[in-house]
């Protein structure tokens, strides 16, 4: 991939940072002819062992001759430059020396500026309707943007719309525990932990066994079932704790157990500790319940029956994938809840494919 060729190639220069590695991986997958070069020593292991050619610094007198020779030798027609200072130099240098060669994309600085502007526009757009979800004032725009950005760094399937609705409901949730069934790599757990602290709601309990046997969706198409075999479940577990490590504290515990076994521990009032073995003070009354485990009907039904029994008046249920293309388990359970709890429902809506229900007091318990 890094040998001279008559086929037009893209030069990755300087191949020295994460943006360079990311472009290299994408180009490799697409079969794009790529030549790697840098003006400083770098580790070829970052690029799968491919050779990284050495060029002079762009301000050295020898740069022009060496660079033009490389362009001719390797038929360079495009340059991806992940370093702002070099990009700026090449932007001014290329028209007068190699007019047929183009820079790919914007400068790293402009790219960062545009990404931030897009993030703020997204947060502003979402925040415009968030207060209507919960009937309460929501977080400032800056905090909404910050949560979307941090969550976006974590792999997961919760959309920005769903996350925005979760941010919104926390503003009207009562003080109590936050419980999440199904954690994957921690995208929504990260958001819930922030919200729990921001509104002083209570501690967060996450539940996920990270086991293939509990991840199989028997009622979904075969292609969804096969995804179970692609995961390394120890990597899932490790990545979850890596993603939450920057927010340590004594207000989060995780049970690596199936939902029913975790519920037995929670309901019995047994001690639950964080990763440093510090006991977390759970109230055993739930303010926000996020059900996002196995989506088969029986599994979703069991999760709701077990955990909703601890729901506080005014607490919120978030039922993931109520609108789901690969099965109707969550929708059937959600519809049954809407019918059975109609007298208790204070607010209900669907956002980001999830069903959000705020439950008031249970009349049967008050009699």
348 membership: H or E segment, kind and range: strand 345-351
Q: What is the pLDDT of residue 255?
A: 98
What's the pLDDT score for residue 227? 63
Q: Give the max Cα distance, the chain.
A: 89
pLDDT at 290 over 90: yes
Q: Is residue 4 very low, low, confident or very high in pLDDT (cuts 50, 70, 90)?
A: very low
The predicted model gives 2-11 an average pLDDT of 69
Interatomic CA distance for residues 70 and 64, integer angstroms: 10
Query: Residue 322's pLDDT band (boundaries 50, 70, 90)?
Result: very high
The CATH T-level fold of domain 9-105 is Rossmann fold (3.40.50)
Which residues are paired to 75 by β-bridges?
none
Alpha carbon distances (Å) from 76 to 103, 199, 319: 11, 55, 52
For the question of whether the overall pTM of this predicted structure is more than 0.75, the answer is yes
Lowest mean pLDDT among 3-17, 298-312, 336-350: 3-17
pLDDT value for 161: 96
**pLDDT (tens digit per residue) in 236-281:** 999 999 999 999 999 999 999 999 999 999 999 999 999 999 999 9
Cα 230 to Cα 347: distance, rounded to the nearest angstrom: 38
Bond prior to 162 in cis (omega within 30° of 0): no
How many Cβ atoms sit within 10 Å of the Cβ of residue 332?
Answer: 14
Residue 153 vs residues 57, 82, 101, 186, 263: alpha-carbon distances, Å: 33, 20, 34, 10, 30
Helix (H/G/I), strand (E/B), else coil: 80: strand
Q: How confident is the model at residue 5 (pLDDT cuts 50, 70, 90)?
A: very low
Structural domain spans, the chain: 9-105, 112-366
Long-range contacts: 243-250, Cβ < 8 Å, 24+?
243/153, 243/154, 243/185, 243/186, 243/187, 243/190, 244/186, 244/189, 244/190, 244/193, 247/190, 247/193, 247/194, 248/274, 248/276, 249/197, 249/274, 250/203, 250/274, 250/276, 250/278, 250/279, 250/280, 250/281
Q: What is the separation of C-alpha 143 from the centre of its chain, rounded to a whole number of angstroms?
A: 16
Per the CB < 8 A criterion, the answer to whether 343 and 357 are in contact is no
Which run of H or of E encompasses 319?
Answer: strand 311-319
Query: Which two three-digit tokens encode residue 218?
Result: 């028997």
**pLDDT tens-digit profile of 98-122?**
988 999 989 999 999 999 999 999 9
In CATH terms, are 9-105 and 112-366 the same topology?
yes
Q: Which residue has the tokens 């009562």?
A: 174
Q: For 42-79, write each residue's pLDDT tens digit.
A: 777 788 888 899 999 999 999 999 999 999 999 999 99
Half-sphere exposure for 338 (CA within 13 Å, toward CB): 16
Q: Position of tokens 């995961």?
A: 231
Average pLDDT over residues 80-99: 94
Q: How confident is the model at residue 6, as a pLDDT?
A: 56
Domain 112-366 in this protein, CATH class = alpha beta
Q: Where is average pLDDT lowest: 4-18, 28-42, 155-169?
A: 4-18
Distance (Å, rounded) from C-alpha 147 to C-alpha 188?
A: 10
pLDDT digits (tens, 9 = 90+) for 202-243: 999 999 999 988 776 666 665 555 567 778 999 999 999 999
Rounded to whole angstroms, the Cα distance separating 279 from 232 reads 29
Distance CA 143, CA 140 (A): 6
């Amino acid at each position: 991939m890094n040998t001279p060729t008559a086929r037009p190639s893209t030069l990755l220069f300087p191949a020295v940072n994460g943006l360079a590695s990311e472009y290299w991986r994408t180009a490799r997958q697409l079969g794009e002819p790529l030549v790697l070069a840098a003006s400083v020593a770098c580790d070829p292991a970052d690029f799968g062992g491919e050779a990284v050619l050495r060029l002079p610094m762009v301000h050295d007198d020898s740069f022009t001759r060496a660079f033009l020779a490389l362009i001719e030798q390797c038929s360079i027609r495009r340059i991806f430059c992940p370093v702002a200072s070099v990009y700026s130099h090449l932007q001014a240098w290329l028209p007068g020396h190699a007019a047929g060669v183009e820079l790919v994309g914007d400068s790293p600085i402009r790219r960062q500026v545009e990404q931030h502007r897009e993030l703020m526009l997204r947060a502003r757009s979402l925040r415009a309707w968030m207060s209507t979800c919960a009937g309460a004032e929501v977080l400032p725009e800056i905090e909404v943007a910050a949560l979307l950005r941090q969550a976006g760094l974590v792999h997961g399937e919760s959309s920005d719309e769903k996350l925005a609705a979760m941010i919104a409901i926390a503003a009207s949730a009562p003080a109590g525990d936050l419980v999440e069934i199904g954690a994957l790599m921690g995208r929504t757990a990260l958001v819930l932990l922030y919200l729990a602290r921001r509104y002083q709601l209570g501690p967060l309990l996450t539940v996920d066994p990270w086991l293939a046997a509990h991840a199989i969706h028997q009622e979904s198409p075969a292609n969804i079932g096969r995804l179970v075999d692609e995961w390394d479940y120890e990597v899932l577990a490790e990545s979850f704790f890596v993603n939450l490590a920057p927010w340590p504290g004594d207000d989060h515990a995780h049970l690596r157990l199936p939902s029913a076994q975790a519920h037995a521990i929670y309901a019995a009032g047994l001690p639950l500790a964080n990763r440093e073995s510090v006991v977390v003070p759970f109230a055993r009354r739930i303010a926000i319940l996020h059900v996002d485990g196995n989506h088969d009907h029986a599994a979703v039904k069991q999760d709701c029956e077990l955990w909703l029994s601890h729901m506080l008046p005014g607490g919120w249920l978030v039922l993931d994938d109520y609108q789901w293309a690969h099965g109707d388990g969550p929708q059937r359970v959600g519809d049954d809840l809407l019918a059975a709890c109609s007298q208790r429902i204070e607010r209900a809506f669907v956002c980001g494919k999830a069903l959000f229900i705020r439950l008031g007091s249970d009349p049967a318990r008050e009699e």
